[in-house]
Structure 1
Amino acid sequence: MKKYRGLLYLLPAFLFLAVFLIYPLIDVFIYSLEEGYSSASQQYAGIGLYNYQYVLRDPYFTQALINTVLLVVITVPISTGLSLAIAFLLMRIEKLRSLFQTIYFLPYVTNTLAVGMVFMVLFKQTPYSVGFVNMVMGWVGLSPVDFIDGPYWAKMFVLCFYTIWVVMPFKILILTSALASVNPMYYDAAKIDGTSSWRTFYKITLPLISPSVFYLIITGFIGAFKAYSDAVALFGTNLNSAGMNTLVGYVFDMLYRDGGGYPSYASAAAILLFAIVLTITVINLMVSKKYTHYS
């Protein structure tokens, strides 16, 4: 009985995962294979891969995929790099460090839709105002840009800027804790050897905090692929017309938006998203095994 005690302790967690994770995933996969499914009659015409073919040919899905990939590629490295730089600077500040940490953490505890509304006000042009950002650009001689309803690059810039702003506080908190956990004796030894600051950071600090860095990179990829509320906060609920939909938004639209009610298409898109996220996560884990150092 003692050798099964550990399994008994884990049984509630296994049941929770089975009911709320494994079963829904299997159910979604089954839905994705049901061709010609009718929500009204709860019937389908057959089993096959047509739903995947439809989704992959859908221009809205293609646009959502491009938007999501760009969001991931741009925001994850920039937010991680900036967070590391800010955390490193915070560690150099003895006085008011807690105050600065609190200030940097405030965006994380603020509702994302509320932050999005603030960003929209800052960037949006109206019949009465060009917006605060355009006003500042005018001071340095730059032409105004419609960041919310204008060209694609401008809208993507705002979305990436907003996403970086939202995710950085959590990353700063994690990296600040990681930097604080580095044993000072390594730095003392480096000073005795006359090691430069850059070499100390590259050879000592970065390897010792690499588990936290890779954790943030992996969770950053996953979080960016699940982005949806960010785009809604900036561009409204009709993201397809704005050309700024994401993969999660596409799944939601297939279920509920105008022309929705297609759970089979939504399920196929959800499975494709799951496959992409799983592949990226596995690659990141394989890379992290090579470059992560545990003290």
Structure 2
Amino acid sequence: MKRSGLKAFLYLLPALIFLAVFLVYPLIDVLIYSFEEGYSSAAQSFSGIGWYNFDYVLHDPYFTQALINTFILVLITVPVSTGFALLIAFALTRITKLRSLFETVFFLPYVTNTLAVGMVFMVLFKTTPYSEGFVNMLMGMVGLGPVDFIEGPYWAKMFVLCFYTIWIVLPFKILILTSALASVNPQYAQAARIDGASSWRIFTKITLPLISPSVFYLIITGFIGAFKAYSDAVALFGTSLNSAGMNTLVGYVFDMLYREGGGYPSYASAAAILLFLIILTITVINLLYSRKHVHYS
């Protein structure tokens, strides 16, 4: 190895050690746990090696419900939040006065504690013996009946969870897209206007392709973040997510490890590996799709 190569390797060595200890080793350990059948935490022993843990998890109704909840959350929140963020960021670039104020207002939810925001949402949506909630009060003003969004029907609880998740992730996406739009050379749009192109055509054929790397980055990270959602559901519905029917895949893994009836690291590991494979598959699909639709300058 050349001297320059050795020097570069020594610079990278602390990061490589950190990744090996905190990423590679835990992943290998989880993979081993997932195949150990009848694992006992107390005795640190197992009865055999096989696919039983995966079979148990895939047939567990709590896992099925968590999988459905997570997929609904992903399919709704990622495109909606990205679309709203793009619309707001585009509007912010057109504002000349008080732009800094609006940018600060839109970014506030990102620096606010997740559980604190969840408590505010509970006040807005939760029905109590003393109040039907602010949202129900507004619905009553237009002639709609009250709905218990926190402990009521499934669709109402999922609506609040999606609304809450979009609210939490929107500021970061607005920040990224605002920066991306600001970096677009205005001469491209001016030349297109001279040629008679409409505003919509300029946006779809010039602006959007130029910021497509940023949009793609937000979609990828949005998918990964939504699949790892857990604190959002806890902030709204408490820790008994299975009884509320609002558990997520990460919540299922945590329950298998620590909640009442937990202490099953093999089942938790199997669920974690399945979650990893789902995220990996969707990420690969997005990467393949990006080859034709993402334009890097």
What TM-score comes out, normalization by structure 2 length?
Answer: 0.98
Residue 109 of structure 1 and its aligned partner are, at CA, apart by 0.3
* SS of match in other structure, 2:191: helix
Q: Which residue of 2 aligns with 1:117?
A: 119
- Distance in structure 1 (CA, Å) of the matches to 2:10 and 2:293: 36
Residue 7 of structure 1 and its aligned partner are, at CA, apart by 2.2
- 2:274 is the counterpart of 1:272: yes
Residue 4 of structure 1 and its aligned partner are, at CA, apart by 2.9
Name the amino acid aligned to 2:129: P
Q: Which residue of 1 aligns with 2:195?
A: 193
Residue 2 of structure 1 and its aligned partner are, at CA, apart by 1.9
* SS of match in other structure, 2:143: coil
- Amino-acid identity (%): 81
Name the amino acid aligned to 2:293: Y
* SS of match in other structure, 1:41: coil
- Distance in structure 1 (CA, Å) of the matches to 2:178 and 2:34: 43
- Distance in structure 1 (CA, Å) of the matches to 2:296 and 2:30: 38
Q: Which residue of 1 aligns with 2:69?
A: 67
Q: Which residue of 1 aligns with 2:159?
A: 157
Unaligned runs of 5+ in 1: none
Instruction: Work out which of the residue numbers 79, 101, 112 in structure 1 matches 2:81.
Output: 79
- Distance in structure 2 (CA, Å) of the matches to 1:70 and 1:148: 17
- Distance in structure 2 (CA, Å) of the matches to 1:42 and 1:149: 40
- Distance in structure 1 (CA, Å) of the matches to 2:100 and 2:282: 35
Name the amino acid aligned to 2:165: T
Q: Structure 1 runs of 4+ off > 6 angstroms?
A: none
Name the amino acid aligned to 1:33: F
Instruction: Work out which of the residue numbers 231, 250, 258 in structure 2 matches 1:229.
Output: 231
Alignment of 1:1-295 (within 5 A): 1-295=3-297
Q: Deviations over 1:103-140 (max 9, x none)?
A: 00000000111101100110000001110000000000
Residue 8 of structure 1 and its aligned partner are, at CA, apart by 2.3
Name the amino acid aligned to 1:149: E
* SS of match in other structure, 1:209: helix
**How many positions carry a matched residue from both structures?**
295
- Distance in structure 2 (CA, Å) of the matches to 1:195 and 1:50: 61
- Distance in structure 2 (CA, Å) of the matches to 1:76 and 1:175: 15
- Distance in structure 2 (CA, Å) of the matches to 1:109 and 1:171: 13
Q: Deviations over 1:222-252 (max 9, x none)?
A: 0000000000000010000000000000000
Residue 184 of structure 1 and its aligned partner are, at CA, apart by 1.0
Name the amino acid aligned to 2:119: M
- For the aligned residue pairs, the C-alpha RMSD in angstroms reads 0.7
Unaligned runs of 5+ in 2: none
Q: Deviations over 1:120-169 (max 9, x none)?
A: 11000000111000000000001111100010000000000000000000
Residue 14 of structure 1 and its aligned partner are, at CA, apart by 1.3
Residue 6 of structure 1 and its aligned partner are, at CA, apart by 2.3
- Distance in structure 1 (CA, Å) of the matches to 2:45 and 2:259: 21
Name the amino acid aligned to 1:283: I
Q: Deviations over 1:22-78 (max 9, x none)?
A: 000000000011100001111100111100000000000000000000000000000
* SS of match in other structure, 2:200: helix
Residue 15 of structure 1 and its aligned partner are, at CA, apart by 1.1
- Distance in structure 2 (CA, Å) of the matches to 1:106 and 1:10: 36
